[in-house]
Amino acid sequence: MFTAARVGLFTESVIREMTRLNNLHNGINLAQGFPDFDPPAELIEAAVRALNDGYHQYAITWGSPRLRQVVAEKFAWYNGVEVDPERHITVTCGATEAMMATLLAVVDPGDEVVIFEPFYENYGPDALLSGAVPRYVQLHLDDPGFAFDPAELRDAFSPKTKAIILNTPHNPTGKVFTRGELELIADLCRTFDALAVTDEVYEHILYDGIGHTSIAAQPGMAERTVTINSLSKTYSVTGWRVGWAIARDPAVTVGIRRAHDFLTVGAAAPLQEAGVTALRFPPAYYRGLAAMYEEKRNLMLRILGKAGFRAFTPRGAYYIMTDFSGLSGDDDVAFAHRLVTDVGVATVPGSSFYHAPALGRPYVRFAFPKREETLTRVAERLHRVREVVGG
């Protein structure tokens, strides 16, 4: 047996597996969260310019100085936190690497990490690979705000707690953590001397007039927060793999940079340079992005309701969790497989978002960052879901 025990603690990505299954059956991929439309033309032009201008070799390991500068500028005006691009920012190969590098930098084997669930499927394996012991706190899908029990969260913290992983807006539910919830989390971090590791890649995809609040902006939290973000979702370039981690504690940044250096060396140099253009888009761009996705959310909610799914309305991000138990007695994996093979629409089984698969058995997640004509085709296919997968 040549494989290490650590890779036996989790499976391959279910989301990516559903994409492979979708491609095999020529389905419509609402499993993996990527747009089927191009990014802004100015961003494509910036990438071409960077290639023509000779950005073909390694950038500085922890990121292009120009990109780190605009990340710092945007973090100040949008998130309300001042940072030094030389001492506090590390550019990574997407937010995924930023999370892994951060946990490797701050977690020792046996340390505990608090994770809200359902959770983006990378968080559990990231914690396990870093040697952490995950402690899970439930988000309640039947609550309109996907609330958690404050007592349950308090009980999850202990002297062994090293960090809490926060994702707002949240994948897969679309929860946007309120200021009061963030204040409670911040208070627990201060009390137990824990770090907040916050994934904010959907920070501009917000609905119903809700605003985004970064926990790093809470009193006493700037030095005990790592804020993770990327170009992927906000600028519709999920394949570029350019992200970053912001830590105002210089020692944490040094640790992240060390882990990052020996994980990937650096993100693609020309795409980092193109990212400078993206982060200088005016506020109107972000308002238009949110309005566009709110229309898609509302359309997708109507489609799912007509098809017989019980959909949980997201307040941010671009996913919808649904309860399909009124349509089928299958478990989530069997239902998702039948949905893509027999109906031609790929989703993600709900169990992939929970540490105990039984908790996700009635659910599948739909992603909706798609053109209107794509969603119209989805509606046509889901119209026959009852007759095909019912039972």
Q: d(Cα 127, Cα 9) in Å, to the nearest integer?
A: 11
pLDDT for 16 equals: 85
Please report which confidence band the pLDDT of residue 305 belongs to, taking 50, 70 and 90 as the band edges.
Answer: very high
CATH architecture of 41-279: 3-Layer(aba) Sandwich (3.40)
Please report which confidence band the pLDDT of residue 390 belongs to, taking 50, 70 and 90 as the band edges.
Answer: low
Q: Which residue has the higher pLDDT, 224 or 125?
A: 224
Q: Where are the domains of the chain?
A: 5-32+284-389, 41-279
Report the predicted TM-score, pTM, of the whole model to 2 decimal places.
Answer: 0.96
- What is the distance, to the nearest Å, from the Cα of residue 20 to the centroid of all Cα atoms in its chain? 20
Region 64-84: mean pLDDT is 98
Question: Which structure tokens are listed for 142?
Answer: 């039947």
Segments in the chain forming alpha helices (H): 14-24, 41-52, 65-74, 94-106, 123-129, 150-156, 179-191, 250-263, 269-279, 283-307, 332-338, 372-382, 385-389
- Report DSSP state, residue 274: H
**Pick among 3.90.1150.10, 1.10.150.120, 3.30.1300.10, 3.40.50.1970: CATH of 5-32+284-389:** 3.90.1150.10
Is the pLDDT at 13 greater than 90? The verdict is no
Tokens 């566009």 map to which residue?
Answer: 292
Region 253-262: mean pLDDT is 97
